[in-house]
Structure 1
């Protein structure tokens, strides 16, 4: 009996222990890890009692400033502790944090681009943060209080407030912010308090008229125009450049201030002045015409012609979101039909049905089913042809531009040497755009504003074994026509000079964007990088599988991918493979496939490898070979390839310039494509058509909005080029 009682007591103690451990469970590992990183980034201050650089239990051990609910961290309040350093790069892992207060410290550098996604209160005021407002603020749809005042923030306030309709108080004062107030301020439908004083903001404040503001301070900026009547009673406006004289009518949509007529005034129309009567009569006439127009529209709508339907749809499309890469170009152009190119290498005129969807786990696994679904079917609204046509002309403007050009002529214009010498200032060093293994490229500028890129081929390359006739070379290159390929527009062969003339792309090369960007260049966003990869893949696919015979490129690298004003990629150096004796010994830049120990070993799959290296550049922001890195990291492929399938390692590899702004799943799928392209055995690398399919599938799953992305990535245009 005593033994049974002892067993029962032990069982109760054991059960109680389990229950206690369950109730007092340790902090969520993701939360603990994020706080570990924060502690290290803050230089491990002793003031944060209980905090650790690794491990620990923030909730169970009562770390200073940390509040929890169950196993989740919900509040971080570390105001006025004299903290220095940064806040770490794992803040987005704090999924349950609703309050983050790091005000009145000595924090520097940029505000982290990864912030807790469920924040309701964010206070980073009275620090020394610099840089621009992080875009991740635009995703904090639950945010009610935002205070970034008293820092060193600079740059324009971008259009990033569309989702912040719960924000009640915002303080951006005492910074160095510039530019006009963004239109998305009008979306702040709950905003009661706004503090913008002591910045360098410009333009008008009309965008604030319809907000439910109770307090507004815009003092000491560079605002112009007039203070709207609706804001005069609540706004502090001193220290600006307001216009004098009578104000213009209120902006459209603003509620006019009602004015009472004097009590002894008659409402009879006879008491109106002639001007007032004219206004009333004019308004009545306009109203009558509007009613007639509506009636006519209703009658004709039922039997509208195709043209009227098109116009209506075009107007409607202006209110729809931009839908890039979701048009006929993607749905019909996933694969190349080489038979349509054999005549003149022009783009195919008949589209084949798209291939079956690509398996998620293996993007290059082909489905054998016949009744497959268009992989982009969900992207394309199922409407009548006229509607689809109107949409493609407006919403899918970018996708239409991506359609390859159908060449009507394979000829290139003949330029005289004297004209080229004049346009390039006699091939002056100041006009030099770049120098490669086969010659130099110069910028040619003409009086009418036209600018071209002039490539002078080293004359020694036309001697000895490389005796290919220059005119034949020009004819072959001129027939290569694709929207993602730099187009040959002319040539010159005089006095021993052999010159090729191309379109000039003002945004330079991908290499410059990734590795030589300056303070005035915004980093390429993730969506733009995907778009550049897809466009370049299409160009290589065209050379490999659309042209007959196939073209080897032999020089695929980021410096040969040129970007136009809209950051569309254009592959250059096409048709010059015979001049590129590419081997692993003479390249030394990290692009060459391992099998290329001799020039004759170079195949189409070697181009695929080089393209995979370019994708790695887009992913990591690193050069293919960098002698300044530690020895184990100098070769980009050797360093990155083993880590492409490890999610944690992959996140650490991403280009820091992205500031964490990328979809993790999209990143993982992009890495999967890279891993296949840079395999050491060429037979295991996919053909370029399958690479294109995988990237198209990635775009389809990402639902990317290229138009917004373009605005975020575009460089400032320099008119003096």
Structure 2
């Protein structure tokens, strides 16, 4: 009978199919990542076996791909003349440990996301531009990183603190600049470091304790001295820098020296040199003490009383914050720079200075021979320039300007208080934020509010709504800002009326870029960094030219104390508790704002179908699908946008709203990506001003 033979044949075929499915079918995330890489590589057609969609890299033996079971573990595509880029789904390749695309012609940025568990990365000898991606900071198994011979620019982020296994780091022949990051000192396994042919500056002292066998820092702008600890390295190349001549200075008092290397000062003259150093320190301390005593005496003179009066008058002047590094050339700042950060604070009549702390300061210079008058003059000039720039207003004035805080003057209400419109007889219009007094600590209202005003008044940036006034009387505490007739981004996107036209694509990109620069200033331009904690479209105000002005900064303590979320749709997943909010949480909220600009939708809309109510949850899976992206874009744009720019905008959003905060980019990278988007699109950011406008509001 034929029946048994048929059954046998059927079983054999079925077993073969099952065997293929079980043992050869590549993991779908790996396939998807390689599909995207294939379409991103302009010349990928030469890669044998590769496909733009689907396929089975492991069983079909795609060129350069090595697998273990159903997982891709190695990608070796060196020297194949590939062009284009690597795609945006490399983070899906969770089993890849070896990643080599060196000696090709790849361009643009190195993707922010790379295989997260990689051990060996070689992207050298390409045409990559941009910066070194910060996601490298999370690759704790990384042992080999070669990014040499590209066109990378900018300063290195302080990203090397969690790379204990890194043995080789090659950043040579790029255009990197700035000081070496402090976290270089944490590279406890590093034996080979190549930094030659860049524009690095500062000292290389941070490398002193590394177990280096090979070091090349040639042709940079390094200064100072080569540490003794590095001079015994067998293969060291240091030419082409601005090293200081003469004998290196001795270590500061109390510093430990390595005992396994001979001291340059060993011998009969060491005790004489030590005595000279001690005498120099004592002499400098005496000079400081005498100058401070003379300064204290002079403070009672009429001239210094006059300066105090001038300081009081200057409270109405504009103020430009001075970062600690900008104070380094100022005599007073040099003296107190190491004393609990006083160099970055305002000096006032109540400032006390510890004499012993000053005597211990390592910043004392020969210029201390200045007379006491010059010393006092420099100190007081710094006091004047760092006084509060916001003007004090009386409660009576504000009651008149707001019609006694009438309901008709109410502009909005948030978790920490209401905002009113104040109109003055001279035509000036301000927005007044009245802070709920219950939010202050018991008994510390005046002092706490004063601290807030002082900090906020020092923030100055073209894309930030600056504080121009304040009032603290009879239990009322109010902050005053410039009033923007165009209202907020939230109003333009979600509360459109007959007086406004839809925001054009160029305007939306300009708003995103300006807002990102404001956040960049808070995160990376302020010391310590300022976490906003309340980034949302209603806090992005628009001036007469529709340039963004970020508001509500510097009030994070209040938002923390209210234990209220930003509002449905804006909070990052990790912010279950307000104390878990970080800089990366701000990035998530900013990504949501960009989603609003892209889709015209609110972050959470209960009127939508349940699957579409949460904007991030609905939009994220579609951000890399070109067809879906064209369907989700704001209909108000009427299709008037460049498709490539739209796709790039969506890629930036996808990075910002990732679930894991460690994979979200720092805001400086967001800014750079938006700038490149503008440059590649050839946008004229001023052409669209007449197309998006809101008529001036009427007087009350």
Q: What TM-score, normalized by structure 1, do the two folds share?
A: 0.49
Shift of residue 516, structure 1, vs aligned partner: 2.7
1:255 aligns with 2:258: yes
Is the Cα–Cα contact under 8 Å of residues 588 and 658 in structure 2 kept in the other structure? no
Deviation at 1:103, TM superposition (A): 0.6
Q: Which residue of 1 aligns with 2:144?
A: 145
Given the alignment of the two structures, is residue 242 of structure 1 paired with residue 243 of structure 2, yes or no?
A: yes
Equivalent residue runs for 1:259-278 within 5 Å: 259=262
Match of residue 516 from structure 1? 514
1:562 aligns with 2:551: yes
Q: 1:186-244: per-residue Cα shift (whole Å, max 9, x none)?
A: 11111000000000001111111111100000000000010112212332000000001
Following the alignment from structure 1 to structure 2, what is the Cα–Cα distance between the partners of residues 625 and 151? 34
Do the aligned residues in 2 keep the contact of 1:484 with 1:536 (CA within 8 Å)?
no
RMSD of Structure 2 on Structure 1 (CA) = 5.4
Tell me, yes or no, if structure 1 residue 619 matches structure 2 residue 591: yes
SS at match of 1:170: strand
Q: Distance in 2 between matches of 1:100 and 1:147?
A: 11
The structural deviation recorded for 1:471 is 5.0
Equivalent residue, structure 2, for 1:191? 190
Kept in 2, the 8 Å contact 1:522–1:712? The answer is no
2:403 is the alignment partner of 1:472? yes
Matched residue SS, 1:46: helix
Cα displacement (A) at 1:255 = 1.3
Does structure 2 conserve the Cα–Cα contact (< 8 Å) formed by 1:27 and 1:71? yes
CA–CA separation in structure 2 for the residues paired with 1:231 and 1:179: 21
1:78 aligned onto 2:64: no
Counterparts in 2 of 1:522 and 1:85: CA distance versus 1, 3 Å: farther
Quick one: distance in 2 between partners of 1:254 and 1:649? Answer: 56
Q: Any stretches of 5+ residues in structure 2 without a counterpart?
A: 280-339, 341-383, 394-398, 434-455, 466-488, 490-509, 541-545, 560-565, 572-585, 630-647, 673-700
Question: Would you say 1:506 and 2:460 are equivalent positions?
Answer: yes
Q: Give 2:57's aligned residue.
A: 58
Which residue is equivalent to 2:94?
Answer: 95
Offset of residue 618 of structure 1: 2.7
**Contact 2:412 2:418 (C-alpha < 8 Å) held by counterparts:** no
Change (3 A) 1:14 1:52: closer
Provide structure 1 residue ranges, at least 5 long, that are not aligned to the other structure. Answer: 266-270, 283-393, 395-445, 456-467, 541-556, 572-606, 627-632, 667-701, 716-721
Give the match's secondary structure for 1:622. Answer: helix
Q: Which moved more, 1:115-124 or 1:498-507?
A: 498-507
Q: What is the aligned partner in structure 2 of residue 215 from structure 1?
A: 214
Match of 2:48 in 1: 49
Contact 1:219 1:236 in 2 (8 A): yes
Distance of aligned partners of 1:520 and 1:40 in 2 relative to their CA distance in 1, 3 Å threshold: farther
Query: Superposed, which structure 2 residues align to 1:122-133 within 5 Å?
Result: 122-133=121-132
Task: Describe the shift of the 1:641–1:713 C-alpha distance in structure 2 as closer, same or farther (beyond 3 A).
Answer: same
| Contact 1:562–1:570 under 8 Å retained in 2 | no
The aligned counterpart of 1:135 is 134
CA contact (8 A) 1:620 1:655 kept: no
The answer to whether the 8 A contact 1:162-1:185 is kept is yes
Report the TM-score, using the length of structure 2 for normalisation: 0.51
Alignment match, 2:621: 649
CA distance in 2, matches of 1:157, 1:220: 17
Is residue 2:102 matched to residue 1:106? Answer: no
8 Å Cα contact 1:144/1:169 also seen in 2: yes
Which residue matches 2:578?
Answer: none
Instruction: Give, in angstroms, the shift of residue 562 of structure 1.
Output: 1.3
Q: Secondary structure at the match of 2:403?
A: helix
On the 8 A contact 1:454/1:500 being kept in 2, the answer is: no
Matches within 5 A, 1:534-553: 534=534
Query: Are the counterparts in 2 of residues 128 and 151 from structure 1 also a CA contact under 8 Å?
Result: yes
- Corresponding residue SS for 1:194: strand
Deviations 1:52-93 (Å, cap 9, x if unpaired)? 110111111111111111111011111111111110000000
- 1:614-640 CA distance string (max 9 Å, x none): 9998335538567xxxxxx56678998
Please give the residue correspondences for 1:98-497 in structure 2 after superposition, counting only pairs within 5 Å. 98-234=97-233, 235-250=236-251, 252-259=255-262, 450-452=388-390, 470-473=401-404, 493-494=424-425
State the secondary structure of the residue aligned to 1:26. coil
Residue in 1 aligned with 2:498?
A: none
Q: CA separation of 1:487/1:454 partners in 2, compared to 1, >3 Å: closer, same or farther?
A: farther
Tell me by how many angstroms 1:163 deviates. Answer: 0.9
Kept in 1: contact 2:137–2:160 (CA 8 A): yes
Contact 2:410 2:418 in 1 (8 A): no
Q: 8 Å contact 2:464–2:518 — kept in the other structure?
A: no
CA distance in 2, matches of 1:620, 1:536: 8
Offset of 1:559 from its aligned partner?
Answer: 4.6
Equivalents in 1 of 2:402, 2:515: separation in Å?
38
Conserved 8 A contact 1:250-1:256: no
Report the count of equivalent residues: 433
Change (3 A) 1:222 1:131: same
The answer to whether the 8 A contact 1:131-1:153 is kept is yes
Q: Distance in 1 between matches of 2:164 and 2:555?
A: 32
CA gap 1:522/1:150 in 2 versus in 1, 3 angstroms: farther
